[in-house]
Chains A and B, each alone.
Chain A
Protein backbone atom coordinates (compact mmCIF):
# COMPACT_ATOMS: atom_id res chain seq x y z
CA UNK A 1 0.00 0.00 0.00
CA UNK A 2 1.48 3.32 -1.06
CA UNK A 3 1.57 6.03 1.54
CA UNK A 4 1.57 9.78 1.34
CA UNK A 5 4.97 11.00 0.16
CA UNK A 6 4.95 13.63 2.87
CA UNK A 7 4.98 11.05 5.64
CA UNK A 8 7.45 8.37 6.54
CA UNK A 9 6.21 4.87 5.91
CA UNK A 10 6.79 1.65 7.81
CA UNK A 11 7.57 3.53 10.98
CA UNK A 12 6.27 1.84 14.15
CA UNK A 13 4.64 5.08 15.21
CA UNK A 14 3.70 6.90 12.07
CA UNK A 15 2.38 10.21 13.35
CA UNK A 16 0.13 12.02 10.91
CA UNK A 17 -2.22 14.95 10.85
CA UNK A 18 -5.86 14.54 9.84
CA UNK A 19 -5.27 15.91 6.36
CA UNK A 20 -2.33 13.58 5.79
CA UNK A 21 -4.47 10.65 6.89
CA UNK A 22 -7.29 11.77 4.60
CA UNK A 23 -4.95 12.10 1.63
CA UNK A 24 -3.89 8.50 2.17
CA UNK A 25 -7.51 7.41 2.44
CA UNK A 26 -8.62 9.02 -0.82
CA UNK A 27 -5.59 7.69 -2.71
CA UNK A 28 -6.13 4.18 -1.44
CA UNK A 29 -9.82 4.24 -2.33
CA UNK A 30 -9.16 5.62 -5.82
CA UNK A 31 -6.58 2.90 -6.38
CA UNK A 32 -8.95 0.22 -5.09
CA UNK A 33 -12.00 1.31 -7.09
CA UNK A 34 -11.93 2.76 -10.61
CA UNK A 35 -15.40 4.25 -10.08
CA UNK A 36 -14.20 6.66 -7.41
CA UNK A 37 -13.42 10.19 -8.58
CA UNK A 38 -13.02 13.59 -6.95
CA UNK A 39 -14.41 16.93 -8.04
CA UNK A 40 -14.32 20.40 -6.56
CA UNK A 41 -13.06 23.92 -6.82
CA UNK A 42 -9.30 24.41 -7.18
CA UNK A 43 -8.58 20.83 -6.27
CA UNK A 44 -5.69 20.75 -8.74
CA UNK A 45 -3.77 22.80 -6.19
CA UNK A 46 -5.12 20.86 -3.23
CA UNK A 47 -8.34 22.71 -2.44
CA UNK A 48 -8.61 24.96 0.57
CA UNK A 49 -7.35 22.50 3.16
CA UNK A 50 -4.96 20.58 0.88
CA UNK A 51 -7.08 17.44 1.01
CA UNK A 52 -6.42 16.81 -2.69
CA UNK A 53 -2.78 17.91 -2.73
CA UNK A 54 -0.89 15.90 -5.33
CA UNK A 55 -3.96 13.92 -6.38
CA UNK A 56 -4.08 15.33 -9.91
CA UNK A 57 -0.51 14.20 -10.59
CA UNK A 58 -1.36 10.68 -9.54
CA UNK A 59 -4.82 10.22 -11.09
CA UNK A 60 -5.06 12.81 -13.86
CA UNK A 61 -7.81 15.21 -14.84
CA UNK A 62 -10.30 12.45 -15.73
CA UNK A 63 -10.60 11.46 -12.08
CA UNK A 64 -9.63 14.72 -10.41
CA UNK A 65 -12.01 17.30 -11.84
CA UNK A 66 -11.42 20.97 -11.29
CA UNK A 67 -14.90 22.50 -11.35
CA UNK A 68 -16.28 25.94 -12.04
CA UNK A 69 -17.66 27.83 -9.02
CA UNK A 70 -20.97 26.10 -9.49
CA UNK A 71 -21.93 24.16 -6.39
CA UNK A 72 -25.56 23.36 -7.25
CA UNK A 73 -24.43 22.26 -10.69
CA UNK A 74 -21.65 19.96 -9.64
CA UNK A 75 -23.53 18.52 -6.67
CA UNK A 76 -26.38 17.66 -9.03
CA UNK A 77 -23.90 16.28 -11.52
CA UNK A 78 -22.35 14.08 -8.85
CA UNK A 79 -25.81 12.79 -7.89
CA UNK A 80 -26.49 11.83 -11.50
CA UNK A 81 -23.08 10.21 -11.84
CA UNK A 82 -23.65 8.23 -8.64
CA UNK A 83 -27.06 7.03 -9.85
CA UNK A 84 -25.34 5.67 -12.97
CA UNK A 85 -22.68 3.73 -11.13
CA UNK A 86 -19.80 6.09 -10.30
CA UNK A 87 -18.74 6.94 -6.74
CA UNK A 88 -18.02 10.67 -6.53
CA UNK A 89 -16.26 12.53 -3.76
CA UNK A 90 -17.00 16.25 -3.72
CA UNK A 91 -14.35 18.40 -2.08
CA UNK A 92 -15.78 21.66 -0.78
CA UNK A 93 -13.37 24.51 -0.15
CA UNK A 94 -15.49 25.44 2.82
CA UNK A 95 -18.44 23.39 3.98
CA UNK A 96 -20.29 26.69 4.20
CA UNK A 97 -20.59 26.78 0.41
CA UNK A 98 -22.79 23.69 0.37
CA UNK A 99 -25.82 25.84 1.09
CA UNK A 100 -25.92 27.08 -2.50
CA UNK A 101 -26.65 23.46 -3.38
CA UNK A 102 -29.32 23.02 -0.71
CA UNK A 103 -32.07 21.80 -3.04
CA UNK A 104 -29.81 19.25 -4.67
CA UNK A 105 -29.01 17.76 -1.27
CA UNK A 106 -32.29 18.12 0.62
CA UNK A 107 -34.73 17.48 -2.21
CA UNK A 108 -32.76 15.28 -4.60
CA UNK A 109 -29.84 13.49 -2.97
CA UNK A 110 -31.73 12.32 0.11
CA UNK A 111 -35.09 11.59 -1.53
CA UNK A 112 -34.58 10.05 -4.96
CA UNK A 113 -33.97 6.62 -3.50
CA UNK A 114 -36.99 6.82 -1.24
CA UNK A 115 -39.41 8.32 -3.75
CA UNK A 116 -38.46 5.74 -6.36
CA UNK A 117 -39.18 2.83 -4.04
CA UNK A 118 -35.50 1.94 -3.79
CA UNK A 119 -34.74 1.98 -7.52
CA UNK A 120 -31.60 4.08 -7.19
CA UNK A 121 -28.77 4.47 -4.73
CA UNK A 122 -26.49 7.46 -4.42
CA UNK A 123 -23.00 6.69 -3.11
CA UNK A 124 -21.56 10.17 -2.69
CA UNK A 125 -19.14 11.68 -0.17
CA UNK A 126 -19.09 15.39 0.62
CA UNK A 127 -15.75 16.50 2.11
CA UNK A 128 -16.76 19.53 4.19
CA UNK A 129 -14.53 21.76 6.29
CA UNK A 130 -16.82 22.86 9.13
CA UNK A 131 -16.87 25.21 12.12
CA UNK A 132 -15.50 28.61 13.03
CA UNK A 133 -11.94 29.64 12.21
CA UNK A 134 -11.67 33.43 12.39
CA UNK A 135 -13.33 34.26 9.08
CA UNK A 136 -16.65 35.75 10.13
CA UNK A 137 -20.16 34.36 9.96
CA UNK A 138 -20.30 33.05 6.39
CA UNK A 139 -17.29 30.76 6.79
CA UNK A 140 -18.15 29.51 10.27
CA UNK A 141 -21.19 27.28 10.02
CA UNK A 142 -21.37 24.02 11.85
CA UNK A 143 -22.58 22.39 8.66
CA UNK A 144 -23.36 19.07 10.32
CA UNK A 145 -25.98 20.69 12.56
CA UNK A 146 -27.92 22.17 9.64
CA UNK A 147 -28.38 18.75 8.05
CA UNK A 148 -28.75 16.74 11.26
CA UNK A 149 -32.52 16.29 11.09
CA UNK A 150 -32.58 15.22 7.46
CA UNK A 151 -33.43 11.58 6.68
CA UNK A 152 -31.33 9.93 3.98
CA UNK A 153 -27.89 11.34 4.82
CA UNK A 154 -25.13 9.95 6.99
CA UNK A 155 -23.05 12.51 8.88
CA UNK A 156 -19.50 11.87 10.03
CA UNK A 157 -17.45 14.25 12.21
CA UNK A 158 -14.01 12.72 12.70
CA UNK A 159 -11.60 14.32 15.14
CA UNK A 160 -8.36 12.32 14.96
CA UNK A 161 -6.09 11.18 12.12
CA UNK A 162 -6.76 7.49 12.80
CA UNK A 163 -10.53 7.95 12.82
CA UNK A 164 -10.48 10.31 9.84
CA UNK A 165 -8.73 7.78 7.62
CA UNK A 166 -10.76 4.78 8.65
CA UNK A 167 -14.06 6.62 8.53
CA UNK A 168 -13.32 8.22 5.18
CA UNK A 169 -12.61 4.86 3.59
CA UNK A 170 -15.87 3.53 5.03
CA UNK A 171 -17.73 6.58 3.72
CA UNK A 172 -16.42 6.03 0.19
CA UNK A 173 -17.56 2.40 0.33
CA UNK A 174 -21.00 3.27 1.70
CA UNK A 175 -23.88 3.23 -0.80
CA UNK A 176 -25.47 6.37 0.68
CA UNK A 177 -24.69 10.08 0.61
CA UNK A 178 -22.29 10.90 3.44
CA UNK A 179 -21.43 14.35 4.78
CA UNK A 180 -17.85 14.11 6.00
CA UNK A 181 -17.42 17.17 8.22
CA UNK A 182 -13.93 17.96 9.48
CA UNK A 183 -13.38 20.98 11.70
CA UNK A 184 -11.21 23.62 10.05
CA UNK A 185 -8.86 23.58 13.06
CA UNK A 186 -8.34 19.82 12.84
CA UNK A 187 -6.89 19.25 9.34
CA UNK A 188 -3.40 20.35 10.28
CA UNK A 189 -2.85 21.64 6.74
CA UNK A 190 0.20 23.76 6.10
CA UNK A 191 -0.47 27.34 7.15
CA UNK A 192 -3.59 26.43 9.09
CA UNK A 193 -4.01 26.49 12.82
CA UNK A 194 -4.18 23.02 14.40
CA UNK A 195 -6.06 22.44 17.64
CA UNK A 196 -3.74 21.86 20.59
CA UNK A 197 -4.48 18.53 22.25
CA UNK A 198 -2.93 15.13 22.87
CA UNK A 199 -4.80 13.58 19.93
CA UNK A 200 -4.80 16.18 17.14
CA UNK A 201 -1.84 14.35 15.64
CA UNK A 202 -1.58 10.65 16.04
CA UNK A 203 -0.48 7.22 14.96
CA UNK A 204 -1.92 5.85 11.75
CA UNK A 205 -1.06 2.22 10.92
CA UNK A 206 0.58 1.29 7.65
CA UNK A 207 -1.83 -1.57 7.15
CA UNK A 208 -5.26 -0.96 5.77
CA UNK A 209 -8.12 -0.61 8.24
CA UNK A 210 -11.68 0.71 8.27
CA UNK A 211 -13.58 2.48 11.03
CA UNK A 212 -17.30 1.63 10.69
CA UNK A 213 -19.85 4.41 10.38
CA UNK A 214 -22.13 4.66 13.40
CA UNK A 215 -19.76 3.49 16.10
CA UNK A 216 -18.63 5.93 18.78
CA UNK A 217 -15.33 5.74 20.61
CA UNK A 218 -14.32 6.32 24.20
CA UNK A 219 -11.35 8.69 23.97
CA UNK A 220 -10.73 8.72 27.70
CA UNK A 221 -12.13 6.32 30.24
CA UNK A 222 -13.54 7.66 33.50
CA UNK A 223 -16.06 6.90 36.20
CA UNK A 224 -17.45 10.16 37.61
CA UNK A 225 -19.09 11.87 34.65
CA UNK A 226 -19.69 11.30 30.92
CA UNK A 227 -18.74 14.03 28.47
CA UNK A 228 -19.89 13.59 24.86
CA UNK A 229 -18.22 15.90 22.34
CA UNK A 230 -17.27 15.85 18.67
CA UNK A 231 -14.97 17.69 16.28
CA UNK A 232 -12.99 20.55 17.78
CA UNK A 233 -15.06 20.30 20.96
CA UNK A 234 -13.74 16.79 21.55
CA UNK A 235 -10.21 18.17 21.79
CA UNK A 236 -11.24 20.94 24.16
CA UNK A 237 -13.26 18.51 26.29
CA UNK A 238 -10.36 16.08 26.43
CA UNK A 239 -7.98 18.83 27.54
CA UNK A 240 -10.42 19.73 30.32
CA UNK A 241 -10.90 16.10 31.34
CA UNK A 242 -7.12 15.50 31.46
CA UNK A 243 -6.68 18.58 33.66
CA UNK A 244 -9.52 17.52 35.96
CA UNK A 245 -7.96 14.07 36.32
CA UNK A 246 -5.07 15.62 38.23
CA UNK A 247 -7.62 17.32 40.44
CA UNK A 248 -9.16 13.96 41.28
CA UNK A 249 -12.17 13.98 38.95
CA UNK A 250 -12.50 11.07 36.54
CA UNK A 251 -14.38 12.09 33.39
CA UNK A 252 -15.18 9.67 30.58
CA UNK A 253 -14.92 11.38 27.19
CA UNK A 254 -16.91 9.92 24.33
CA UNK A 255 -16.48 10.84 20.67
CA UNK A 256 -19.62 9.85 18.76
CA UNK A 257 -17.57 10.12 15.51
CA UNK A 258 -20.81 9.87 13.53
CA UNK A 259 -23.89 11.98 14.17
CA UNK A 260 -25.99 9.87 11.76
CA UNK A 261 -26.19 7.02 12.59
CA UNK A 262 -25.51 7.90 16.23
CA UNK A 263 -24.10 5.36 18.68
CA UNK A 264 -26.49 6.17 21.52
CA UNK A 265 -25.87 2.79 23.17
CA UNK A 266 -22.28 3.76 23.93
CA UNK A 267 -23.49 6.88 25.73
CA UNK A 268 -26.26 5.03 27.56
CA UNK A 269 -23.80 2.42 28.86
CA UNK A 270 -21.46 5.18 30.02
CA UNK A 271 -24.22 7.15 31.74
CA UNK A 272 -25.39 4.02 33.55
CA UNK A 273 -21.86 3.85 34.94
CA UNK A 274 -21.29 7.56 35.71
CA UNK A 275 -24.84 8.88 36.33
CA UNK A 276 -23.86 12.28 34.96
CA UNK A 277 -23.81 13.75 31.45
CA UNK A 278 -22.48 16.85 29.72
CA UNK A 279 -22.86 17.25 25.93
CA UNK A 280 -20.56 19.62 24.06
CA UNK A 281 -20.98 20.79 20.46
CA UNK A 282 -19.84 23.85 18.53
CA UNK A 283 -23.04 24.59 16.63
CA UNK A 284 -25.87 26.80 17.78
CA UNK A 285 -27.65 25.37 20.78
CA UNK A 286 -31.14 25.38 19.27
CA UNK A 287 -31.76 22.22 17.28
CA UNK A 288 -28.29 20.80 17.79
CA UNK A 289 -27.49 17.10 17.87
CA UNK A 290 -26.93 17.46 21.59
CA UNK A 291 -30.62 18.19 22.08
CA UNK A 292 -31.53 14.94 20.35
CA UNK A 293 -29.00 13.03 22.43
CA UNK A 294 -30.26 14.61 25.66
CA UNK A 295 -33.80 13.56 24.77
CA UNK A 296 -32.69 10.02 23.97
CA UNK A 297 -30.77 9.69 27.24
CA UNK A 298 -33.68 11.14 29.17
CA UNK A 299 -35.92 8.54 27.55
CA UNK A 300 -33.62 5.58 27.98
CA UNK A 301 -31.64 6.22 31.15
CA UNK A 302 -33.16 9.03 33.20
CA UNK A 303 -33.44 6.72 36.20
CA UNK A 304 -29.66 6.39 36.24
CA UNK A 305 -28.98 10.12 36.26
CA UNK A 306 -28.02 11.87 39.50
CA UNK A 307 -28.01 15.33 37.96
CA UNK A 308 -29.62 17.27 35.10
CA UNK A 309 -28.05 16.87 31.65
CA UNK A 310 -26.13 20.02 30.72
CA UNK A 311 -25.39 21.10 27.18
CA UNK A 312 -22.55 23.36 26.10
CA UNK A 313 -23.02 24.91 22.65
CA UNK A 314 -22.84 28.24 20.86
CA UNK A 315 -25.62 30.69 21.64
CA UNK A 316 -28.18 31.22 18.90
CA UNK A 317 -26.29 33.92 17.00
CA UNK A 318 -24.27 33.96 13.77
CA UNK A 319 -20.54 33.63 14.44
CA UNK A 320 -18.94 37.09 14.82
CA UNK A 321 -15.51 38.01 13.39
CA UNK A 322 -13.61 39.80 16.15
CA UNK A 323 -11.50 37.12 17.85
CA UNK A 324 -12.75 38.34 21.23
CA UNK A 325 -16.35 37.86 20.10
CA UNK A 326 -15.75 34.56 18.31
CA UNK A 327 -14.09 33.17 21.43
CA UNK A 328 -17.01 34.36 23.51
CA UNK A 329 -19.50 32.51 21.30
CA UNK A 330 -17.71 29.22 20.56
CA UNK A 331 -17.51 26.98 23.64
CA UNK A 332 -14.04 27.17 25.19
CA UNK A 333 -12.36 25.05 27.81
CA UNK A 334 -13.52 27.19 30.71
CA UNK A 335 -17.17 26.84 29.70
CA UNK A 336 -16.78 23.10 29.35
CA UNK A 337 -15.01 22.87 32.70
CA UNK A 338 -17.68 24.95 34.42
CA UNK A 339 -20.44 22.77 33.02
CA UNK A 340 -18.71 19.61 34.23
CA UNK A 341 -18.19 21.08 37.70
CA UNK A 342 -21.77 22.29 37.84
CA UNK A 343 -23.09 18.80 37.08
CA UNK A 344 -20.68 17.32 39.63
CA UNK A 345 -21.85 19.79 42.28
CA UNK A 346 -25.47 18.86 41.79
Chain B
Protein backbone atom coordinates (compact mmCIF):
# COMPACT_ATOMS: atom_id res chain seq x y z
CA UNK B 1 0.00 0.00 0.00
CA UNK B 2 1.37 3.38 -0.89
CA UNK B 3 0.30 4.73 2.49
CA UNK B 4 3.46 3.43 4.09
CA UNK B 5 4.35 0.81 6.65
CA UNK B 6 2.21 -0.77 9.32
CA UNK B 7 3.43 1.36 12.19
CA UNK B 8 6.41 -0.14 13.92
CA UNK B 9 10.12 0.15 14.25
CA UNK B 10 12.15 -1.11 11.31
CA UNK B 11 14.15 -4.15 12.31
CA UNK B 12 17.26 -6.04 11.42
CA UNK B 13 20.49 -5.56 9.59
CA UNK B 14 23.17 -2.97 10.05
CA UNK B 15 22.70 -0.57 12.97
CA UNK B 16 21.72 2.99 11.97
CA UNK B 17 24.93 4.54 13.30
CA UNK B 18 27.11 2.50 10.96
CA UNK B 19 25.13 3.69 7.97
CA UNK B 20 25.13 7.28 9.21
CA UNK B 21 28.92 7.05 9.42
CA UNK B 22 29.27 5.56 5.95
CA UNK B 23 26.86 8.09 4.46
CA UNK B 24 28.23 11.26 6.04
CA UNK B 25 31.93 10.40 5.90
CA UNK B 26 31.78 8.66 2.52
CA UNK B 27 29.72 11.46 1.04
CA UNK B 28 32.04 14.23 2.21
CA UNK B 29 35.23 12.36 1.30
CA UNK B 30 33.92 11.63 -2.18
CA UNK B 31 32.95 15.26 -2.73
CA UNK B 32 36.31 16.59 -1.56
CA UNK B 33 38.25 14.06 -3.64
CA UNK B 34 36.30 15.04 -6.72
CA UNK B 35 36.95 18.70 -5.97
CA UNK B 36 40.71 18.49 -5.47
CA UNK B 37 41.65 15.80 -7.95
CA UNK B 38 41.70 16.55 -11.70
CA UNK B 39 38.49 16.43 -13.71
CA UNK B 40 39.03 12.78 -14.68
CA UNK B 41 38.33 11.84 -11.07
CA UNK B 42 35.05 13.72 -10.82
CA UNK B 43 33.40 10.30 -10.51
CA UNK B 44 34.38 10.37 -6.83
CA UNK B 45 31.56 12.86 -6.39
CA UNK B 46 29.23 10.17 -7.70
CA UNK B 47 30.62 7.62 -5.28
CA UNK B 48 30.05 10.13 -2.49
CA UNK B 49 26.48 10.58 -3.70
CA UNK B 50 26.00 6.81 -3.60
CA UNK B 51 27.02 6.75 0.08
CA UNK B 52 24.69 9.66 0.85
CA UNK B 53 21.75 8.16 -1.05
CA UNK B 54 22.12 4.79 0.69
CA UNK B 55 22.11 6.61 4.01
CA UNK B 56 19.02 8.58 3.01
CA UNK B 57 17.29 5.38 1.90
CA UNK B 58 18.02 3.79 5.26
CA UNK B 59 16.67 6.83 7.12
CA UNK B 60 13.51 6.75 4.98
CA UNK B 61 13.19 3.06 5.77
CA UNK B 62 13.36 3.71 9.50
CA UNK B 63 10.93 6.62 9.56
CA UNK B 64 8.46 5.36 6.96
CA UNK B 65 8.09 2.06 8.81
CA UNK B 66 5.97 3.99 11.30
CA UNK B 67 3.52 5.00 8.59
CA UNK B 68 3.47 8.62 7.49
CA UNK B 69 -0.24 8.93 6.76
CA UNK B 70 0.53 9.66 3.13
CA UNK B 71 2.84 8.13 0.54
CA UNK B 72 6.49 7.36 1.15
CA UNK B 73 7.48 9.70 -1.74
CA UNK B 74 6.45 12.79 0.25
CA UNK B 75 9.39 12.44 2.61
CA UNK B 76 11.78 12.17 -0.30
CA UNK B 77 10.37 15.33 -1.82
CA UNK B 78 10.65 17.37 1.39
CA UNK B 79 14.20 16.17 1.93
CA UNK B 80 15.28 17.27 -1.51
CA UNK B 81 13.29 20.51 -1.19
CA UNK B 82 15.36 21.35 1.88
CA UNK B 83 18.47 19.85 0.34
CA UNK B 84 18.43 22.05 -2.74
CA UNK B 85 18.21 25.19 -0.61
CA UNK B 86 20.87 24.24 1.87
CA UNK B 87 23.25 22.75 -0.71
CA UNK B 88 23.42 25.93 -2.77
CA UNK B 89 23.46 28.05 0.38
CA UNK B 90 26.45 26.14 1.72
CA UNK B 91 28.35 26.37 -1.54
CA UNK B 92 27.62 30.10 -1.80
CA UNK B 93 28.99 31.08 1.60
CA UNK B 94 31.29 28.25 2.61
CA UNK B 95 34.04 28.44 0.06
CA UNK B 96 36.25 25.44 0.63
CA UNK B 97 34.12 24.37 3.60
CA UNK B 98 31.01 24.61 1.42
CA UNK B 99 29.79 21.01 1.66
CA UNK B 100 30.26 21.01 5.43
CA UNK B 101 28.42 24.31 5.85
CA UNK B 102 25.64 22.97 3.65
CA UNK B 103 25.50 19.78 5.67
CA UNK B 104 25.20 21.69 8.96
CA UNK B 105 22.55 24.00 7.54
CA UNK B 106 20.59 20.98 6.32
CA UNK B 107 20.82 19.39 9.75
CA UNK B 108 19.50 22.57 11.39
CA UNK B 109 16.55 23.00 8.99
CA UNK B 110 15.83 19.27 9.12
CA UNK B 111 15.77 19.39 12.92
CA UNK B 112 13.41 22.36 12.86
CA UNK B 113 10.99 20.62 10.49
CA UNK B 114 11.24 17.40 12.48
CA UNK B 115 10.40 19.22 15.71
CA UNK B 116 7.52 21.06 14.02
CA UNK B 117 6.18 17.79 12.63
CA UNK B 118 6.09 16.17 16.04
CA UNK B 119 5.35 19.09 18.34
CA UNK B 120 3.02 21.29 16.27
CA UNK B 121 1.47 18.92 13.76
CA UNK B 122 1.57 16.02 16.18
CA UNK B 123 2.67 13.16 13.96
CA UNK B 124 3.93 11.26 16.99
CA UNK B 125 6.75 9.42 15.26
CA UNK B 126 9.45 8.98 17.91
CA UNK B 127 12.40 9.21 15.54
CA UNK B 128 10.97 12.00 13.36
CA UNK B 129 13.45 14.69 14.47
CA UNK B 130 16.49 12.48 13.96
CA UNK B 131 15.19 11.12 10.69
CA UNK B 132 14.51 14.56 9.25
CA UNK B 133 18.06 15.64 10.15
CA UNK B 134 19.44 12.55 8.47
CA UNK B 135 17.29 12.76 5.37
CA UNK B 136 17.99 16.46 4.86
CA UNK B 137 21.72 15.87 5.35
CA UNK B 138 21.73 12.94 2.97
CA UNK B 139 19.74 14.86 0.36
CA UNK B 140 22.15 17.79 0.58
CA UNK B 141 25.22 15.58 0.19
CA UNK B 142 23.60 13.75 -2.74
CA UNK B 143 22.90 17.05 -4.50
CA UNK B 144 26.41 18.39 -3.90
CA UNK B 145 27.96 15.07 -4.92
CA UNK B 146 26.09 14.88 -8.21
CA UNK B 147 26.71 18.59 -8.87
CA UNK B 148 30.41 18.01 -8.33
CA UNK B 149 30.33 15.21 -10.90
CA UNK B 150 28.93 17.64 -13.47
CA UNK B 151 30.99 20.70 -12.54
CA UNK B 152 34.21 18.92 -11.54
CA UNK B 153 34.33 21.19 -8.50
CA UNK B 154 31.96 22.59 -5.92
CA UNK B 155 32.98 26.17 -6.51
CA UNK B 156 29.76 28.22 -6.39
CA UNK B 157 30.34 30.14 -9.62
CA UNK B 158 31.16 27.02 -11.62
CA UNK B 159 28.23 25.09 -10.17
CA UNK B 160 25.89 27.95 -11.06
CA UNK B 161 27.23 28.12 -14.58
CA UNK B 162 27.25 24.41 -15.37
CA UNK B 163 24.57 22.88 -13.16
CA UNK B 164 22.01 25.55 -12.27
CA UNK B 165 21.73 27.69 -15.38
CA UNK B 166 21.60 24.62 -17.64
CA UNK B 167 18.75 23.22 -15.57
CA UNK B 168 20.58 20.00 -14.70
CA UNK B 169 19.83 20.90 -11.09
CA UNK B 170 16.21 19.84 -11.69
CA UNK B 171 17.41 16.44 -12.88
CA UNK B 172 19.68 16.14 -9.81
CA UNK B 173 16.78 17.17 -7.59
CA UNK B 174 14.49 14.41 -8.80
CA UNK B 175 17.03 11.65 -9.37
CA UNK B 176 18.54 12.21 -5.92
CA UNK B 177 15.08 12.27 -4.40
CA UNK B 178 14.06 9.08 -6.19
CA UNK B 179 17.29 7.43 -5.07
CA UNK B 180 16.34 8.18 -1.49
CA UNK B 181 12.63 7.39 -1.62
CA UNK B 182 12.43 4.60 -4.22
CA UNK B 183 14.34 1.82 -2.40
CA UNK B 184 11.97 1.60 0.53
CA UNK B 185 8.90 2.30 -1.60
CA UNK B 186 9.85 -0.45 -4.04
CA UNK B 187 10.45 -2.97 -1.26
CA UNK B 188 7.44 -2.09 0.87
CA UNK B 189 5.84 -5.12 2.46
CA UNK B 190 5.97 -7.24 5.57
CA UNK B 191 9.01 -9.21 4.39
CA UNK B 192 11.14 -6.20 3.55
CA UNK B 193 14.85 -6.77 4.31
CA UNK B 194 17.39 -4.06 4.98
CA UNK B 195 20.14 -5.43 2.74
CA UNK B 196 17.77 -5.67 -0.22
CA UNK B 197 16.54 -2.12 0.31
CA UNK B 198 20.02 -0.70 0.65
CA UNK B 199 21.45 -2.49 -2.37
CA UNK B 200 18.57 -1.02 -4.34
CA UNK B 201 19.70 2.36 -3.04
CA UNK B 202 23.15 1.67 -4.47
CA UNK B 203 21.61 0.64 -7.78
CA UNK B 204 19.51 3.80 -8.08
CA UNK B 205 22.40 6.01 -7.00
CA UNK B 206 24.56 4.39 -9.67
CA UNK B 207 21.92 5.31 -12.26
CA UNK B 208 22.05 8.88 -10.95
CA UNK B 209 25.82 8.78 -11.34
CA UNK B 210 25.55 7.58 -14.95
CA UNK B 211 23.14 10.37 -15.89
CA UNK B 212 25.24 12.97 -14.07
CA UNK B 213 28.28 11.63 -15.93
CA UNK B 214 26.44 12.08 -19.20
CA UNK B 215 25.62 15.67 -18.24
CA UNK B 216 29.24 16.33 -17.23
CA UNK B 217 30.42 15.87 -20.82
CA UNK B 218 29.30 19.42 -21.67
CA UNK B 219 31.59 20.97 -19.11
CA UNK B 220 34.38 18.46 -18.55
CA UNK B 221 34.62 16.92 -22.00
CA UNK B 222 34.12 13.35 -23.12
CA UNK B 223 37.06 11.77 -21.24
CA UNK B 224 35.94 12.40 -17.64
CA UNK B 225 32.32 11.80 -18.64
CA UNK B 226 33.29 8.42 -20.07
CA UNK B 227 35.12 7.47 -16.87
CA UNK B 228 32.16 8.45 -14.69
CA UNK B 229 29.70 6.57 -16.88
CA UNK B 230 31.93 3.49 -16.90
CA UNK B 231 32.32 3.48 -13.11
CA UNK B 232 28.60 4.09 -12.75
CA UNK B 233 27.72 1.25 -15.12
CA UNK B 234 30.01 -1.13 -13.22
CA UNK B 235 28.46 -0.25 -9.88
CA UNK B 236 25.01 -0.50 -11.42
CA UNK B 237 25.66 -3.91 -12.93
CA UNK B 238 27.06 -5.37 -9.72
CA UNK B 239 24.34 -3.92 -7.51
CA UNK B 240 21.53 -4.93 -9.86
CA UNK B 241 22.74 -8.50 -9.89
CA UNK B 242 23.05 -8.47 -6.12
CA UNK B 243 19.53 -7.08 -5.84
CA UNK B 244 18.23 -9.81 -8.13
CA UNK B 245 20.08 -12.35 -5.97
CA UNK B 246 18.36 -10.99 -2.86
CA UNK B 247 15.00 -11.13 -4.63
CA UNK B 248 15.63 -14.80 -5.44
CA UNK B 249 16.62 -15.40 -1.82
CA UNK B 250 13.64 -13.60 -0.28
CA UNK B 251 10.77 -14.24 -2.68
CA UNK B 252 8.31 -17.05 -2.16
CA UNK B 253 9.28 -18.33 -5.58
CA UNK B 254 10.96 -16.88 -8.64
CA UNK B 255 9.49 -18.74 -11.60
CA UNK B 256 10.02 -18.39 -15.33
CA UNK B 257 6.30 -18.70 -15.84
CA UNK B 258 3.44 -20.38 -14.10
CA UNK B 259 -0.10 -20.29 -12.79
CA UNK B 260 -1.20 -18.76 -9.53
CA UNK B 261 -0.45 -20.68 -6.33
CA UNK B 262 -3.16 -23.29 -5.75
CA UNK B 263 -5.71 -23.21 -2.94
CA UNK B 264 -3.79 -25.86 -0.99
CA UNK B 265 -0.56 -23.91 -1.27
CA UNK B 266 -2.21 -20.80 0.14
CA UNK B 267 -3.44 -22.59 3.25
A binds B: no
List residues of A whose CB falls within 8 A of some B CB.
none
Residues of chain B at the chain A interface (Cβ within 8 Å): none
